Amino acid sequence: MTVFSCTQTSARLASAALVLLLSATAAHAQGAAIASPAPASTLPSAPSSTLTTQQPAAAPPPQQPTTPQQTTPQQQPVNPEDLVPTIKVQANEVNLIFTVTDKKGRFVPNLKQDNFGLLDDGRPPVRVSRFSLASNLPLRVGIMLDTSSSIRQRFQFEQDSAVEFLLQVLHLNDRAFIEGFDIQTDVPQGFTNNIDLLTQGIHKLRPGGGTALFDALYKTCHDQMLTLRDTVAVRRALVLVSDGDDNYSRALQSDAIKECQRAETIVYAISTNVSPSKDKGDEVLNQIATATGGQAFYPVRIEDVTTGFHNIEEELRSQYSLIYTPAGFKNDGSFRTIYLQAHDPRYQVRAKKGYFAPRPAQ
């Protein structure tokens, strides 16, 4: 009995020791698990930059760690266009600026799209995107003053009238430049909105020399107008003050007109010929202005040059804009004709006679 009791007691003591040992081992393992970092697969994924920029920062609610695969459906999808370079293509649309007057030359307001008939290269447009009164488009205007010997006695009136025109026409978002021309061109002041600088540029010009009108017009459209890079729609116009005589150009009149059409530039001409009858130079000015959608003015006195400038100022602020998609359009650099007419025979429409389609992007 005694031997059995001791053995039983020893067994009980051994069992208790084993339980304590197992408990200590489990506690140690649990502490190690808490102290050591969790495996990467159990950490919540960090929010992407897209979510950071598009969602307000906020403390996430307590939740169990999840794997990246579980958070992916909640992320913003990546736009494929953000991963590749942007390719800009030319829109096959034409912005046609035109003027409508009655038989007395007064601007006709409040007309609608269905008041007109339009053919582009002999075909109606596919669709018209916009029709509006374009009275507030920013202007990009060039003042071209004939400084040849033939206008020496009239030059002071040209200068004063040009200054008055700029004072009246230039608004905050408009820009203008000053150019004189005889056998060469002289640009004493480039594009600016500063009236003082433009006035100084006008008074820097001096008359003398022959007349290369077509060369000057071609070069001006090529160097000044074609190089414009505006991010908004603007109206490009040249105000040409001259007697229209050309005795020195290498370029032809047709070359000058085509370059104006390429540059999408309207030409307004003010003749300094005050003789009782129009001469060849007056007809040249009319042909250039008509082909580009502008108009020629013929003052009866040199003092009336100011009136010509005033009429141009009124027209620049009183025009319509028609944006349309032409039928059969190709980026091949070809010339496309425009025919625009009001259905009401009492109204006269002045618009450019055509334009050059852009060439394929290189």
Percent of the chain's residues with pLDDT above 70: 75
**C-alpha angle 206-208-212 in degrees, rounded to nearest 5:** 110
Residue 56 has pLDDT above 60, yes or no: no
End-to-end alpha carbon distance in the chain: 111
Residue with more model confidence, 70 or 226: 226
State residue 118's pLDDT score.
98
Mean of the pLDDT values across residues 9-31?
44
For the chain, what are the domain ranges? 88-135+329-362, 136-317
State residue 152's pLDDT score.
87
State residue 1's pLDDT score.
39
State residue 19's pLDDT score.
41
Is the separation of the CB atoms in 117 and 340 below 8 Å?
Answer: yes
Residue 269 has pLDDT above 90, yes or no: yes
State residue 48's pLDDT score.
36
State residue 47's pLDDT score.
37
Separation of alpha carbons 95 and 159, rounded Å? 33
Read off the pLDDT of residues 24-54 as tens digits, 9 standing for 90 and up.
Answer: 444 444 444 334 444 433 333 333 333 233 3
Predicted structure pTM score: 0.74
State residue 213's pLDDT score.
98
Model confidence band, residue 252 (pLDDT cutoffs 50, 70, 90) = very high
Mean of the pLDDT values across residues 129-140?
90
Q: Exposed, middle or buried, 297 (CB in 10 Å: 0-12/13-18/19+)?
A: buried
State residue 191's pLDDT score.
98
- Homologous superfamily (CATH) for 136-317: von Willebrand factor, type A domain (3.40.50.410)
Read off the pLDDT of residues 176-229 as tens digits, 9 standing for 90 and up.
Answer: 999 999 999 999 999 999 999 999 999 999 998 899 999 999 999 999 999 999
| Residues 6+ away with beta carbon under 8 Å from 25 | none
Read off the pLDDT of residues 213-223 as tens digits, 9 standing for 90 and up.
Answer: 999 999 999 99
Mean of the pLDDT values across residues 142-169?
93
State residue 91's pLDDT score.
67
State residue 219's pLDDT score.
98
Residue 248 has pLDDT above 90, yes or no: yes
Read off the pLDDT of residues 328-343 as tens digits, 9 standing for 90 and up.
Answer: 999 999 999 999 999 9
